[in-house]
Amino acid sequence: MKDKNVILLGPPASGKGTQARQLAGYLGVPCLGTGKLLRDEIERETAVGLEAKGYIEGGSYVPDAVILAMVESWLGENVDGWLMDGFPRTIPQAEALQESAIPPSRVIVLDVPRGDLELRITRRRECTGCGVTFAVDHLDEVICPDCKTPTLVSRADDALDSFKVRYENYEELTVPLFDYYEGLGMLDRVDGTQSPDEVFAEILKLVGG
Ligand SMILES: [Zn+2]
């Protein structure tokens, strides 16, 4: 039987978002990303959205209670199974989810060492001509493989700064969840340094696909 309530966790730049979209399609379940959920609530100007907006504009994190209120209402609309991409982010969120009517059945962590993640970000290029983004093999590459013009730029400095903050956040808040879920016998790890297809194949084996 396929797992229907799956949580996918992993550090920033681990390829988690891509895997989550693919897996949600395969399982035929909706995918919850709290970033998108927040943006939707703010856009619709719901009570919880307006509350969240206040925190974001004040430059602080949206508190667990606000996030949980959003997630619970989302869960209520998606009772036939779901995938969560990067949620829960903290132990209190995980504990609350465990108390919900449809708790997770499996938690999968994409393991990628920090050095590999930084290398991925360093290799990323964007073409200012045609807009394509991809990873270069040689760091001094300037010719776009798509439109063949010398218009490649790197945003690596900014990207590495923001990565550092997000990674440290992940280590501090999310990595403790691994022990929590391991204690519940629900945790599996996948080697995220493999190709996206290999990673997906391993995930499918875990969810019984
Ligand atoms: Zn181009």
Digit-coded pLDDT (tens) for 187-204: 999 999 999 999 999 999
Residues shown for the chain: 209
Question: What would the pLDDT profile of 87-105 be if each residue is shown by its tens digit?
Answer: 898 899 999 999 988 899 9
Structure tokens at 164: 């550092």
- Identified catalytic residue from 2, 120, 123, 124: 124
- As a CATH number, domain 5-30+78-113+164-207 is 3.40.50.300
- Please tell me the predicted confidence (pLDDT) of residue 28: 92
Task: Read off the pTM.
Answer: 0.85
Is the per-residue pLDDT at 1 higher than 60?
no
Instruction: Compute the distance between CA of residue 190 and CA of residue 96 in angstroms, rounded to an integer.
Output: 25
Q: Where are the domains of the chain?
A: 5-30+78-113+164-207
Question: Is 16 designated active site?
Answer: yes
Q: How far is the CA of 200 from the centre of ligand 1 (A)?
A: 29
SS3 48: helix
Question: Is 114 designated active site?
Answer: no
Tell me the C-alpha to C-alpha distance, in Å, between residue 128 and each of 141, 143, 145, 148.
14, 11, 12, 12
SS3 179: helix
